Chain A
Amino acid sequence: MTTRSPQPRGIRRNRPSPLRPVPAPTRRFAALGLLLLAACAPEDPDPGTSGTIRVTDGTGRPVVLDRPARRVVSLIPATAEWIIAMGGADRLAARTDFDDHPAVASLPSVGGGLNPSVEWLAARRPDLVFAWPDAPSRSLVSRLEDLGIPVYTAPVETIDEALAAAEDVGRLLGLESAAESAIAGVRAGLDSVAAAVAGRPRPAVLFLIGLDPLMAAGPGTFVDELIARAGGRNVLSGTTVRWPQLSLEEVVRRGPAVVIVGSAAVADPRAQLGGRPGWRDVPAVRAGRVHGVDPDFVNRPGPHLDEAAARLAALIHTDRDDPGSGARTGIPTTPGGSP
């Protein structure tokens, strides 16, 4: 049984303590039990024969299914990617505009996923919907529940939360063993990235998700954790807000050695920042160490978290700007262990 106590909603301050209330060993033990069960069960159990599935989602709500979900709509691109990685692409009944995986390209799109038509969703006849956490009033989640459509929602901020949610996805779809190997692959990939950069100096990294206004990844986010795994030091460590809006003054004061911009709205971040007054004095800009990354790749806590960490490691531990230099630094760009 997955048990996670309700996450406090709203204006949250990050604490240095672990954000996940349930210690990982409990989860691993549960996962081990599942693996043992799976080992006793037939090779690929028919989804219809399993019993009731009970999962507590990231907001503390129980999600109960009579059998593994067969028609699923995910409004969250990262969750859709996890489902595809677990071999469940054929269960998806719709996609969002941000789902670019070829396996789902032919599915009808619900749009951006934040404000979908409830009747359109109901007409897809899903037996499970993965939705963003939303306000307790006029909420899509409660609206779908009223219609008898189970909804799973999780506020994913950290890598552990992402992996825990992925484990829940596996349980809800009856794809536990595929989920376990996908998650194990990500963990192994992250570990190998961390091992490759171990002992190197840790440059100060600023990860921006937007330039106007300046918004950055603060502590308590999976991007912050990815920076750490990739052998960098988030310049915002020690601050309290997850996705703070920064002043240029603050950037200059903290003097990042590397600036990474993950925003689809910024085409050439080096030229953009280099042309702005004030930025010229930032070490990263002076050294030409401003890099753009595909936001769909790095900003999404999906099954490619390990590859995202490898990409960041390549950018953080490159002295010159050379897209191919990741190989020379000895950092695996496609980490092993992935299924």
Chain B
Amino acid sequence: MTRGGSPLGPLLLLAAGLVLALLLAVGVGAVPVPPGGVIDALAGRADATTRTIVVDLRLPRAALAVLIGGALAVAGAVFQALLRNPLAEPYILGVSGGAAVAAVAVIGFAGAVAGWVVPVAAFAGGLGAILLVFRIAASVGSALDTRVLLLAGVVVGAFFNAVILLLLTLADVETFRSAVFWMMGSLAGATWGSVGLLAAYTVPALVGLLALARPLNLMAVGEETALYLGTRVERVKRAAYVVASLLVAAGVATAGVIGFVGLIVPHALRLVWGGDHRLLLPGSALAGAAFLLLADTTARTVAAPVELPVGVVTALVGVPVFVVLLTRRSA
């Protein structure tokens, strides 16, 4: 923004970028399908294989990228505001560690299980980690102290990492491979079913977080100031933490841990348009979705028919872009 101006212009720009990224994601893949073929497939006229590729594989995968990219970026922006820490990212409160411990344990110990068991276990593990972190933080003071919360998140995360390494060391080759693939994060498992389930959950949570833009603006100034200006700081904090954490837990359960989206996207937007959450939050949703779409399209095509882990692409592409933005800004 046009600091203080209308957020509409930047948001329209980001929305246009998202539409372009969507078109690219549906149009490009390991198998070349001409634009006419893509349109035919969408209209139900193409042959079975083309229809399968476009409608059953690329579209749900693109939809999953939009949901998870948007959710991670918004959660990142919210955590950075709440913790007033620029290094905060969606997994900072141990969600990914808790989810991964549960997922690896199920993959390694539970025997043959139905496909839904691992995501459900991962979600429960993520929730468990969040509860543990809040429990630790709450036992230190009456109000949620952000520094204590941050520390609790870091140590719980480190503990879970140790548990994961322990499980992997004891695991056989097959479990090891499955678990490592699970943890690398991937959108390859997207089905219309999983997308629908995640959307039913993510969209209301995102809308809820977007509604917190004004109190988050005030809290970014300082919790005391926000309190004086009539914000019920504790309630906003709790609601934002819980909703953002649930959002991240659902994303991890569906697609594993995908790094850097929640860190880079909100910061890039702040560098370009400033820190007003009325723009930052919806902007993060749009830009995070577009960024993950582009990253996943790259992951699917660059080494085709081998797929790269999408987290590798988000880091390899995102970090240099971010550094350029950062140095330009300070120059």
Contacts and interface: CB of A to CB of B under 8 A. Distances in A.
B170 interface: yes
B317 interface: no
What does DSSP make chain B's interface, helix, strand, loop or mixed?
helix
Contact of A135 (B111, B182, B255, B303): B182
A106 interface: no
Contact of B305 (A120, A137, A138, A139): A120
A20 interface: no
B107 A116 contact: no
Contacts of A125: 49
Contacts of B170: 11
A129 to B, nearest CB: 13
A10 B30 contact: no
Given A134-B181, A138-B255, A143-B188, A9 B174 contact: yes
A117 B304 contact: yes
B22 to A, nearest CB: 17
A118 B52 CA distance: 10
Contacts of A48: none
B173 interface: yes
Contacts of B175: 9-11
Given A122-B52, A137-B118, 9 more contacts: A9-B111, A12-B172, A117-B300, A120-B30, A120-B31, A123-B49, A135-B179, A138-B182, A143-B191
Contacts of B117: 136-137
A70 to B, nearest CB: 16
B222 interface: no
A133 interface: yes
Contacts of B173: 242-243
Contact of A117 (B106, B167, B191, B306): B306
Contacts of B30: 117, 119-120, 123
A238 interface: no
A244 to B, nearest CB: 10
Interface in A64-99: none
Given A117-B300, A243-B173, A137 B49 contact: no
B29 A135 contact: no
B107 A10 contact: yes
Given A117-B305, A136-B112, A136-B115, A11 B53 contact: no
Interface in A224-247: 241-243, 245
Interface string A130-156: 001111111110110011000000010
Interface stretch (A31-39, A107-115, A164-172, A198-206): A107-115
A109 B304 CA distance: 10
- Nearest 5 interchain pairs by C-beta: A138-B189, A137-B118, A111-B306, A135-B178, A120-B305
B53 A123 contact: yes
A222 to B, nearest CB: 13
Most interface-central of B58, B179, B304 (chain A CB within 10 A): B304
Given A118-B188, A138-B189, A242 B31 contact: no
B96 interface: no
A112 B179 contact: no
Interface of A: 6-12, 59-60, 108-112, 114-123, 125, 132-140, 142-143, 146-147, 155, 241-243, 245
Contact of A119 (B29, B110, B167): B29
Contact of A112 (B57, B167, B181, B306): B306
Contacts of A11: 108-109, 167, 170-172, 175
B182 A9 contact: no
What does DSSP make chain A's interface, helix, strand, loop or mixed?
loop
Contacts of A147: 52, 56-57
A243 B172 contact: yes
Nearest to A8: B111
B258 interface: no
Contacts of A116: 305-307
Contacts of B106: 136
Most interface-central of B106, B117, B172, B191 (chain A CB within 10 A): B172
Given A60-B112, A116-B305, A146 B191 contact: yes
Contacts of B303: 111
Contacts of B109: 10-11
B114 interface: yes
Contacts of A137: 103, 107, 115, 117-119, 122, 182, 189
A122 B306 contact: no
B112 A110 contact: no
B112 A138 contact: no
Most interface-central of B117, B188, B255 (chain A CB within 10 A): B188
B29 A117 contact: yes
B119 to A, nearest CB: 6
Contacts of A9: 107-108, 110-112, 174-175
Contacts of B202: none
B113 interface: yes
Contact of B107 (A122, A135, A241): A135
Contacts of A123: 30-31, 49, 53
B189 A10 contact: no
A173 B223 CA distance: 69
B177 interface: yes
Contacts of A135: 107, 118, 178-179, 181-182
